[in-house]
Chains A and B, each alone.
Chain A
Amino acid sequence: MSDWIVPGLLAALAVYLVYVYNHLVTLKNRYRNAFAQIDVQLKRRHDLIPNLIETAKAYLKHERETLERVTEARNAAAAQLRRAEGNPGAAAVMAELAGAEAALGEALGRFQVVVEAYPELKADQNMRQLFEELTSTENRIAFARQAYNDAVMLFNTFRQSFPPVLFAGLFGFREDAAPLEFADREAIQAAPQVRF
């Protein structure tokens, strides 16, 4: 009877270790896949912007600066995305990508304000379609980020919980994955200033 206890326990431990390892791999692949989804949508936005600028150029002859800023931000974000693709989940690269995308979002926001001032441009059929595409793409990015952050959260929670935390390092899962955060975090955390 007692002869079986030690081998039995060892076998149970082995089964458990296999489970921990496999689950870590599953969760890691899930967040990598979630990142790939964001990647697709970010690229979609980057591809959309040249069309937008082309259509707007005809109407916005006096707004060259705004258009150039959008193009620059777009190119910077595209470069960051290429860097991040090689290494999703790394905190530093994610932060830079989030920053570049936020800058692009800001430039696009300013561009949209400018478009508001040109009724003919707003009414342009092509422009309306591009704006619908842009809205949809922004939503997709938001949802893909949401899915990515959820996947990262599941991975981190499992990795940090006990007992997997004892073995995660052993298996090569030493670091937490980094969720995509608000680039304008400081602005959100700063208390709103009310002046009378």
Chain B
Amino acid sequence: MDVFALQDRARRSSRLLVALYLLLVVALIAAVDQLLRLAIGVEPGPALRGAIAGGLALLILGGSLWRLQQLRRWGGAGVLTALGARRVTAADPDPLLKRLHNVVEEMAIAAGLPVPAVYLIDDSAINALAAGFGPQDAAIGVTRGALELLDRDELQGVVAHEFAHILNGDMRLNLRLIGLQHGLLMLQLLGRHLALAAPRARRQAAGLYALGFALQTLGLLGAIAGGLLRAAVSRQREFLADAAAVQFTRQPQGIAGALKKIGGWVVGSRLGVPGAQALAHCFIAEAVGRLSSGLLATHPPLSRRIRRLDPHWDGRYPSVQREPRRAAAAPAAGRRHAAPPAPGGGRRRPGRRRLRRRASGRGAPTAGGLARNVARRRPRPPRRPGGDPGAGRRSRRRRRRPAGTRRRHARAPPAPALAGSLPAYAARCRAGNPGRAARPRRGTDPRRRPHRALGMGPAPAR
């Protein structure tokens, strides 16, 4: 395997992307140019037109660079600490963690890379992620679910997949794309400011308002296009990483088996850890529930990935169950999630309701095993002090908080172990969130905001 050729290919596609993005910027500026004439009805001179186009380009590029600068602070270890992961060393007494560390060292040899920092993400989902800007500050995180449910070969396939992401520079590419997408969103912000400023300027108020509105729409369209571009790249990169995983391990059964187990495991690959969304592309399979299929998905459908690795696959996912030893440790708590999948060949993916339940039950991750991890999803803290105990069981729509109470005060405090890291992470998310920074709108659901739906900001930090 010539890893250098692989890296060259990755670099070429990155260049193509940047070209596409610049094309998008030019198209947007041209559209604004046309809009100006339509909205104000005046024909600006060439000097003014040039100045406007230059200003817009500066705005967009500046926004991109500013966001990138922010993202640079996320080193590999920093991201994983923010996710509530804990460092695993070679001297760890837990045999599962020892095995994980060994597997990472093995794959480092196979990939010809330095050994990255290894982290354990305390979550019952089967997933893993690579973070960092390059091989030197890379870190690999694996969920406890993956450690307990995958066998050695499958774990090796998963880790090899993450090594492929490191080798291909996928994390860096994706951070760049997030930055560029943010630049496009700057246009929308400008439009909003214009529209809000409109009533104060008496003359041409209507024209200005229309211009602001049109700019907002354009900026949004640009950001959506950027989001689609980013998702498309991410999906291609997954296929590339799967292929490289096979190259490193010289056998497709490992990674294919792991993907099948993700399909068969009731929790699947969806993490209950807040903040997973901005990093969705770094995981081995979909880490967040929303928009998990279609054009905005960061990963290709599991079945297609498995078929590329194993053409003779019969389309059935194995029914994955925890080891009896672990199940016995928490007989009552684990029941809901450890139940075998519904009859029908075990093909059922976790349904909307189950995912919603996961989503609503998510709290701060605690240190503990899979059993405890599943258990913590079950008892939900009351939404507000003195609230009726049934509130947690209702659907998300009905659980909207009453006017005047703020969610932040109502939720249970995070586990002490993470008190230092998570709020810091949440603060960083807020700082890097353009919608919130520009104008906090009360009463709107943050999840409904467009840049969230595009996967630009991290998931709401609760």
Contact = CB atoms under 8 A, between A and B. Distances in A.
Bound pair (A, B) = yes
Interface of A: 37, 41, 128-129, 132-133, 135-136, 139-140, 143-144, 146-147, 150, 154
The 10 closest A-B pairs by CB, nearest first: A136-B102, A143-B110, A143-B109, A139-B106, A140-B106, A144-B109, A140-B109, A143-B106, A132-B99, A147-B112
B371 interface: no
Contacts of A140: 105-106, 109
B95 interface: yes
A103 to B, nearest CB: 23
Interface residues of B, number: 17
A146 B248 CA distance: 9
A154 B3 CA distance: 12
A129 B99 CA distance: 9
Chain A at the B interface: mostly helix, strand, loop or mixed?
A: helix
B265 to A, nearest CB: 24
B250 interface: yes
Nearest to B99: A132
Given A143-B110, A146-B110, A146-B250, A128 B105 contact: no
Contacts of A132: 95, 98-99, 102
A37 B109 contact: yes
Contacts of B156: 139
Interface in B52-101: 95, 98-99
B388 interface: no
B314 interface: no
Given A132-B98, A133-B102, A150 B1 contact: yes
16 contacts: A129-B98, A132-B98, A132-B99, A136-B105, A136-B106, A139-B106, A140-B105, A140-B106, A143-B107, A146-B250, A147-B109, A147-B110, A147-B112, A150-B1, A150-B2, A154-B2
Interface in B126-176: 152, 156
Interface of B: 1-2, 95, 98-99, 102-103, 105-107, 109-110, 112, 152, 156, 248, 250
B250 A128 contact: no
B418 to A, nearest CB: 30
A139 B103 CA distance: 9
Contacts of B105: 136, 140
Contacts of B250: 146
A37 B99 CA distance: 20
A4 to B, nearest CB: 34
B116 to A, nearest CB: 16
A147 B250 CA distance: 11
Nearest to B156: A139
| Highest count of chain B CB atoms <10 Å: which of A135, A136, A139 | A139
Nearest to A136: B102
Contacts of B248: 143
B103 A136 contact: yes
| Highest count of chain A CB atoms <10 Å: which of B1, B105, B106 | B106
Contacts of A129: 95, 98
Contacts of B109: 37, 41, 140, 143-144, 147
B433 to A, nearest CB: 43
A161 to B, nearest CB: 15
Contacts of A139: 102, 106, 156
